[in-house]
Amino acid sequence: MRNYFDLRGKVALVTGGSRGLGLAISRAFAEQGAAVIIASRKVENCDAAAREIVQSGGEAIGVGAHVGKWDEIQRLADKAYDAFGKVDILVNNAGMSPLSDSSLLTEESLFDKVLAVNFKGPFRLTAICASRMAEGAGGSVINITSIGSIRPLPQYAPYAGAKAALNALTIAHAFEYAPKVRVNAILPGSFKTDIAKHWPAEKASNIVSAIKRYGEPDEIVSTALYLASDASSFTTGALIRVDGGRP
């Protein structure tokens, strides 16, 4: 039987890949045969995640990089290409979503950090990698945005704005790097990742969605595999909600 999600011979770069949704995606890509570059700010976490994949029979390396910083983005791309000679799949997953009491009290430094990690980083890293994909055999870019980008609330207005900008960028880049590069976005809802440990207990009983629970990290995997693989060869510029049915 055909394996629709076969990634053998592919190289995937996953930012924010050492934990949460990024780690689930990194593991899944490796299980389907891809070599995975796991990137995040803390190199020790990246190395630990890469070792886990290697011990399970996959191929992976860790690279420490802050994707909110222009120079480090270039260094990350250089290390990926130096290690494997190509990047076929880019997952822009790294993000930060701090809450604020009010827009008036939001500090400029925090605002700038949120936009840098959630928007500037994916913009620059996609420009570097997708341009090379377009010159070569093509590839797939997957932006992890948020249901907050289309269902914004005041508590995370800068984050929602940055992710909305990333939605727009997804469509713009889908046209810029077509036809050889596909660029799509996944809009997750509330997932039970590390950050959920800091959510108030009552949040779990007040989830406004059709499925009425948090998502588990593995529940984003099939969508990521679809977009990374040739199974989605006619899908680009798409914003796919994986949110449990948020109204």
Report the mean per-residue pLDDT for the chain: 95
2 assigned to some structural domain: no
pLDDT at 199: 65
Q: For residue range 46-91, what is the model confidence (pLDDT) as tens digits?
A: 999 999 999 999 999 999 999 999 999 999 999 999 999 999 999 9
Query: Looking at residues 227-243, what average pLDDT do you find?
Result: 98
247 assigned to some structural domain: no
Say whether pLDDT at 231 is over 80. Answer: yes
133 assigned to some structural domain: yes
Q: What is the 3-state secondary structure (H, E, C) of 194-241?
A: HHHHHCCCHHHHCCCCCCCCCECHHHHHHHHHHHHCHHHCCCCCCEEE
Give the structural domain span for 65. Answer: 11-242
pLDDT at 193: 82
Query: Looking at residues 127-156, what average pLDDT do you find?
Result: 97
Look at 204 and 41; give whichever has higher pLDDT: 41
Q: For residue range 108-135, what is the model confidence (pLDDT) as tens digits?
A: 999 999 999 999 999 999 999 999 999 9
Q: For residue range 181-221, what is the model confidence (pLDDT) as tens digits?
A: 999 999 999 998 877 666 677 676 678 899 999 999 999 99
Query: Looking at residues 127-151, what average pLDDT do you find?
Result: 98
159 part of the active site: yes
d(CA 51, CA 216): 23
4 assigned to some structural domain: no
Total structural domains in the chain? 1
CATH code, domain with 155: 3.40.50.720
pLDDT at 157: 97
Q: Active site residue: 4, 81, 156, 159, which one?
A: 159
183 assigned to some structural domain: yes
* % pLDDT > 70, the chain: 97
Describe the crossing of helices 157-176 and 121-135 by its angle, rounded to 10 degrees: 10
